[in-house]
Amino acid sequence: MQRPIQFIASISVAMLGFANPAAANKVFVSNERGNTITVIDSDSWEAIAEFPGGNRPRGIGVSPDGKYLYVCASDDDTIRVFDTETYEEVWTLPSGPDPELFTIHPTGELLYIANEDDNLVTVVDTQSRTVVAEIPVGVEPEGMAISPDAAFVINTSETTNMAHFIDTSDYQIKHNILVDQRPRYAVYTDDGTKLFVSSEIGGTVSVIDPLAANGPELTTKIGFEVAGVQPEWLQPVGMKVTADNKWLFVALGPANRVAVIDVESLEVVDYILVGQRVWQMEFTPGQEFLITTNGNSNDVTVIDVARQKAVKSIQVGQQPWGVAVTPE
Partner 1 sequence: MMVFARLIVAFACLFCTAFGAYALDINAAVLRVDYPQRLPISRYDLIPDDLGFAGGALADEDNQTTGNFMGMTFNTNYVATTPEEIDALLEELIANGTTLLVVMANAEDLLQIADRAGSDVLVINATTRDMSVRDDQCRANLLHVAPSEMMLADAVVQFAMWKQWREVFLIQGSNPADRTLGDAYRRAANKFGAQVVEEREFEDTGGSRRTDTGHVLVQRQIPVFTQNAEDHDVVIAADNSDLFALYLPFHLWTPRPVMGSGGLRPVTMHAAHEAWGATQFQRRFEEASGRFVQEADYEVWLSLRVIGEAVIRINAADPAALRDYILSDDFELAAFKGRKVNFRPWNGQLRQPVLLTDSKITVSVSPQDGYLHQVSTLDTLGLDQPESACNAFAE
Contact 260, 308 (CB under 8 A): yes
For position 230 contacting partner 1 by CB under 8 A, the verdict is yes
Residue list 174-193, contact with partner 1 (CB under 8 A) = 174-176, 178, 180-182
User: Which span (127-135, 195-203, 287-295, 320-328) binds partner 1, by CB under 8 A?
Assistant: 195-203
- Which amino acid appears at position 25 of this protein? N
CA 130 to chain centre: 24
d(CA 307, CA 131): 43
CA-nearest of 144, 73, 142 to 110 is 144
For position 201 contacting partner 1 by CB under 8 A, the verdict is yes
For position 76 contacting partner 1 by CB under 8 A, the verdict is no
For position 265 contacting partner 1 by CB under 8 A, the verdict is no
CA-nearest of 260, 253, 241 to 309 is 260
Helix (H, G, I), strand (E, B) or coil at 74: helix
d(CA 247, CA 263): 5
Among 138, 275, 320, 322, binds partner 1 (CB under 8 A): 138
d(CA 71, CA 47): 19
User: Which span (11-19, 106-114, 132-140, 285-293) binds partner 1, by CB under 8 A?
Assistant: 132-140
For position 160 contacting partner 1 by CB under 8 A, the verdict is yes
User: Which span (80-88, 133-141, 221-229, 272-280) binds partner 1, by CB under 8 A?
Assistant: 133-141
Binding residues (CB under 8 A) for partner 1: these are 98, 116-117, 119, 138-140, 157-162, 164, 173-176, 178, 180-182, 200-203, 214-215, 230, 232
